[in-house]
Structure 1
Amino acid sequence: MVWIHGGAFIIGSGTRLYDATILSSLNDVIVVTINYRLGALGFFSTGDDVAPGNYGFLDQVEALGWVQQNIAAFGGDPNTVTLFGQSAGAISIHYHVLSPMSKGLFKRTILQSGTATIKGFMAQSDDASRTNIIANGLGKFVGCEKDNSKELLECLRAVPADEFRDAFYVTKLAIANMTKIKDMMIPFPPTLDGEFVKEDPLNTETKFNGEELMIGATTDEGFMMYLPLFPVHDSEFTVNKTMYEAMYSMLISDKNQAVLDAVKLIYVDWDHADEEDANYLSALCQMAGDMMFVCPSDLAARAHSAQGINTYLYQMTHVPATTLWPVKTGTSLHADDIQFVFGYPLLSEMQLVLGGNEKTLFKQTPNENDIQVSLQTMKYWTNFAKTGNPNRSSASDDDNNDDWPLFTVPGLAYKQLSLSMENSNALKARECAFWNQFVKKLQQSGDTCVNKEESKYSEEANSP
């Protein structure tokens, strides 16, 4: 099992947070964690052939090639490699599923809260101005204001590595004319480079790499987007109507009024919509989580199932007693599933080694419910890695798909990762129909109306 860490392609490490001792020792698997270049060093692009980007992905390809060549010496099987990762790590893995450069490097994939089908996260050809602003903005901060990509790259290569690395911080890029929230979150996104990424993941008809897929998200993926609203983390988490009106459209790339109105219709609690002091936080969080994580996962699950690939969908609904976030919301947040996959609820404390010094990441009194959820989650993950089926640990096991049923269309079965581990159907089906199907139709409808109005006024202006 090869773990690819997350961190928005700008932060993270394959070693600092991901101790796989429990996962590997209790479940008889070999776990490899890898590093890859991040931020400007990993994903800087000029939007052309001079610096196409995706260097961090190429690092991952090299690491997967190393696993193929060497894992047998550790007792592993290069023919049964499973990639698993969370957030940007899951996004990375989905790109490997799509990339011709990754063909034959793995057999199965597990995507935790992230896919390549998150709209707006990949810089495309029509994002040239955005890419240029980012590239030139970084150049400005290190003294490389140049007229063209070639001169810019030559100058940047002469900048000391530490200075170049530190120049990409989001606060500096925000000063360099970055105005869109998605640009600030992912200042150096994957690019359509023509080599590793040959086509838009949202439009691809490529046959996917890999034979089976497990994919899912948590119940409150979106809260992390709004955590900065609450600098005092023990305060009440409340967003009133005025704040909601000012904020709800910020993450939505298309400002088509029909789309914005539909978002309100779907997510606002209309029983209290006339109350200024009603709490709109859930409307914000569920919208952001569905748009960026849950519904792209639904889109990917449907696409894989349509190609005949055995697909297993999940949602983590269990609320952990201990979270790595500085808050407790009573919900399962983005990345809360990681601790259950790695078995951290079995620990009383976890240590990190930073710069040669030990640092306690957390101390906890082990919680029996968390332990049970973690043990079962690890079993599902490792069963899937071994057999392609989370219900079977070996070829000799009974094929009990009633435990975790396949995701199919129709059917839409999924597993709730909770103490009861119950099965459900149609995860956020209405919301995902909206984001994956109807938003595009609303956009086209709005464009048609605008074009008709423009044509009308143009005819009136030109008439005698």
Structure 2
Amino acid sequence: MSLFGVIFIAAALCLGTTSGASLGVVYTEGGLVQGKNHRMGLFSSVDVFKGVPFADIPVRFEKPQPHPGWDGVLKASQYRDRCLQVTLMQSGSQGSEDCLYLNIFVPQGRKVSTGLPVMIYLFGGAFLLGASNDVSFLGNSLYDGKEMADRGGVIVVTVNYRVGTLGFLSTGDSRLPGNYGLWDQHAAIAWVNRNIRAFGGDVDNITVFGQSAGSVSVNYQMLSPHNQGLFRRAISQCGVAVSPWALQRDPQAMARKIAEKVGCTQEEHMTACLKMTDPVALTMAGKVALSEMGKEPVVYMLELAPVVDGDFIPDHPSKLFHNAAKFDYIAGTNSMDGHLFAGADIPSINQKYKTTHPEEIKQLLAGLTMEKGTAAVNSSFATYSEHWGPNPEKATIKKTVVEIETDYLFFVPTQIALQLHAKYAKLKQRTYSYVFNMPTRIPMFPSWMEADHAEDVQYVFGKPFDTPVGYLPRHRTLSGYMIAYWTNFAKTGDPHRGQEVPTQWPLFTNKGNPVLMINNKINVNSVQYNFRTRYVQYWSTTYASLPNQAP
């Protein structure tokens, strides 16, 4: 290298060091906070604030309350505990009741950023587990927001909220109204709205996004009357409020079951007893009985979820989409979202040398459609098997299982939610639909597998850039596309206004129902119309019109 080149690089590095901007100490309503600045490029960095309290330590089965504040400067450099919850294998508990904290990622250039769009992320985990810093990914949280903030030019905020028994137990009435986790999310959104300007954010340009249970939560935040004016846009990744797993079926029965497990058997004293019970015992009482798997579809074993409480959720979610008309909205699913559940319900679909039998599929359908009875089993099986022919291949039958659970649990409810949003928004606010169909990266899955549940998250958060050793160039291409579409939408309400994207994404309307197929090869042909319309029609019309079976 020439002497001139060496001098140029040294000068550039020196300039980058001296000119890099950082917020330093920030004033919030609770007090002063100080994060850490992380260098991302020659003239770019991200200020990271971890563990900033947005509410006080929650009182058991009560709405969150404002944090009392603190003296001095809060060193916001470490993630705080997740909310108390069961472990993934349901064998123990982890976390704390002192858990209502959020994390903020602010991109910086040569000057301190101002007026940036804000994106608040709600994690998934079946309303049972999860955290704002969940899943260590080669040393980093899966939800680490640095790459998305830096590449997208937005502030990213990740939020803790109560889950499991402590977040969603309800008696179905005023004794334990439930939805405490949704109230926590609302409190975090309100805190961001009040405080994010001090971090360089635009309070009039806030987007809430999430995946799975977090995706459903995003939809509930849109539908609730309590979020007027707090945010502007929303993105649901794999779940909506009208999904069959998004609302508790019988909260009172669930409350009695939990109460029995912890010894609160007297009906008249049940609520008081639950409030005084050891929080770990309460948490473990809400675990999923993995030993019972196979007796009914796994999705119905996830019993803790939001409820219609007459307050945060005043009515059945399908009747609340008029409240969502003021938000721009993206909603989509992964092409094989249901595989996570299908593989547990019918394990043979993942076993190369085993055959999946039609009777197994009928048994699964009987569990999924139990409220409709035999007629539903017969009509749904006929709908999904009509393309098989006389001698279907093993893979065809196995893929059908995944299609059934994907459609029933994710894709069709999402299409219904999009139609309801478009109906009420009437193009005053924008509606967009997508399907993420990148082939799976999980090596033990069948060769026909596309995107399983949650496989989209790594790309939205820029993991292929953050940990390049684990990915190939095509994964970085896809991640760049998704960050651009998501952050363009957050900035303008239009996913192709801003950073360059590979093709236009048409507005969703009830005519044609355009869907953008998202993978690393997006082009003009990636927009599909009337995608899986036959199955949307079946579940939303034919199946819905069948009479319920008498209990």
Q: Which bracket does the TM-score occupy, shorter chain normalised?
A: 0.7 to 0.9
Other structure's SS at 2:158 match: strand
Which of 183, 190, 193 is equivalent to 2:306?
190
1:156 matched to 2:260 = no
Corresponding residue number in structure 2 for 1:285: 402
- 1:242 counterpart letter in structure 2: E
Structure 2 residue 267 is the aligned partner of structure 1 residue 147: yes
Amino acid across the alignment from 1:281? K
2:287 corresponds in structure 1 to 169
Of the three residues 362, 377, 400, the one matched with 1:245 is: 362
Give % identity. 29
Aligned to 1:424: 528
AA aligned opposite 2:397: Y
1:231 is displaced (CA, Å) by 9.2
1:105-160 CA-partner distances (Å, limit 9, x unpaired): 1100001011001135313xxx5xx3232112111221211224xx1111112211
Partner of 1:462: none
Aligned to 1:356: none
Equivalent position amino acid for 1:382 in 2: T
Alignment partner of 1:20 is 2:138: no
Q: Which runs of 5+ in 2 are unaligned?
A: 1-118, 135-141
> Aligned pair 1:332/2:451, yes or no?
yes
Q: CA RMSD in A?
A: 2.8
**What is the distance in 1 between the residues matched to 2:130 and 2:361?**
31
Residue 386 of structure 1 deviates from its aligned partner by: 0.3
2:547 corresponding residue in structure 1:
443
- Cα offset, 1:424, TM superposition: 1.3
Aligned partners of 2:354, 2:157: CA distance in 1, in Å? 38
**1:408 aligned to 2:408?**
no
Q: 1:378 to 1:430 in 2, by over 3 A?
A: same
CA distance in 1, matches of 2:430, 2:170: 36
TM-score normalised according to structure 2 size = 0.70
- Tell me how far apart the structure 1 counterparts of residues 486 and 155 of structure 2 sit (CA, whole Å): 13
Equivalent in the alignment of 1:317: 437
Q: How much does 1:241 deviate?
A: 2.5
Alignment-derived partner of residue 376 in structure 1:
481
Q: Cα distance 1:212–1:173, how it changes in 2: closer, same or farther (>3 A)?
A: farther
Higher relative contact order (CA 8 A, sep 6+): 1
Residues 277 and 212 (structure 1), Cα distance of their counterparts in 2 relative to 1, 3 Å cut: closer
Query: What CA deviation, in whole Å up to 9, does each residue of 1:327-367 have, x standing for no partner?
Result: 46531111111111111122437xxxxxxxxxxxxx62x21
Q: Secondary structure at the match of 2:222?
A: helix
Structure 1 SS opposite 2:360 = helix
Amino acid at match of 2:237: Q
CA distance in 1, matches of 2:399, 2:297: 22
CA distance in 1, matches of 2:403, 2:147: 33
In structure 2, the partner of 1:199 is 315
8 Å Cα contact 1:5-1:14 kept in structure 2: yes
1:69 aligns with 2:194: yes
Tell me how far apart the structure 2 counterparts of residues 116 and 232 of structure 1 sit (CA, whole Å).
29
The question of 1:264 aligning with 2:406 is answered no
- Deviation of 1:439 (Å): 1.5
Q: How does 1:216-255 map to 2 (within 5 A)?
A: 216-228=332-344, 229-230=346-347, 235-236=352-353, 238-255=355-372
SS state at 2:235 partner: strand
Answer whether contact 1:47 1:131 (CA < 8 A) is retained.
yes
Contact kept in structure 2, 1:241 and 1:277, CA below 8 Å: no
Per-residue deviation, 1:443: 2.6
TM-score (norm: length of structure 1):
0.83
Q: Are 1:59 and 2:184 counterparts?
A: yes
Q: Work out whether residues 211 and 236 of structure 2, in 8 Å CA contact, stay in contact via their aligned partners in 1.
A: yes
TM-superposed CA distance for 1:5, in Å, is 0.5
Task: Kindly indicate whether residue 494 of structure 2 is the aligned counterpart of residue 389 of structure 1.
Answer: yes
- CA 87–253 in structure 1, closer or farther in 2 if over 3 Å, else same: farther
Q: How far, CA to CA, are the matches of 1:104 and 1:244 in structure 2?
A: 46
Conserved 8 A contact 1:220-1:332: yes
Q: Deviation per CA, 1:1-28: give whole Å up to 9, x if none.
A: 0000011000111112311111111111
Aligned residue in 2 for 1:341? 460
Decide which moves more: 231-240 or 161-170.
231-240
**Letter of the 1:332 counterpart:** A
Deviations 1:197-220 (A, max 9, x none): 001112336332643111111111
1:104 deviates by 1.3
1: CA distance between counterparts of 2:408 and 2:129? 23
Q: In structure 2, what is the Cα distance between the partners aligned to 1:219 and 1:58?
A: 31
* Matched residue, 2:172: 47
Q: Report the Cα offset of residue 72 of structure 1.
A: 0.6
Describe the SS at the equivalent of 1:80: strand
Q: 1:277 to 1:197 in 2, by over 3 A?
A: same
Residue 233 of structure 1: CA displacement? 6.8
Moved more, 268-277 or 212-221: 268-277
**Of 127, 134, 137, which aligns to 2:257?**
137
Q: Structure 1 CA distance, aligned partners of 2:351 and 2:213?
A: 28
Give structure 1 stretches of 5+ with no counterpart: 350-362, 451-464
Change (3 A) 1:326 1:189: farther
1:304 is matched with: 421
Question: In structure 1, the residue corresponding to 2:276 is in which secondary structure?
Answer: coil
- Conserved in 2, the CA contact under 8 Å of 1:313 and 1:407? yes
CA distance in 2, matches of 1:38, 1:438: 35
SS of 1:85's equivalent in the other structure is strand
Q: Displacement, 1:368?
A: 1.3
Within 5 Å, give how 1:89-100 maps onto structure 2. Answer: 89-100=214-225
Give me the whole-angstrom Cα distance separating, in 2, the residues matched to 1:146 and 1:274: 58
Q: Relative to structure 1, is the Cα distance of residues 248 and 172 closer, same or farther in structure 2, using a 3 angstrom cutoff?
A: closer
How far apart, in 1, do the equivalents of 2:354 and 2:506 lie? 36
Q: 2:504 is matched by which residue type in structure 1?
A: D
CA distance in 2: counterparts of 1:194 and 1:26, whole angstroms? 41
Distance 1:234 1:432, change over 3 A: closer
Q: Which residue of 2 aligns with 1:457?
A: none
Structure having the larger proportion of residues in helix: 1
- On the 8 A contact 2:122/2:158 being kept in 1, the answer is yes
Cα drift, residue 83 of structure 1: 0.6
C-alpha separation in 2, matches of 1:212 and 1:442 = 34
The match for 2:329 is 213
The alignment status of 1:87 with 2:207, answered yes or no, reads no
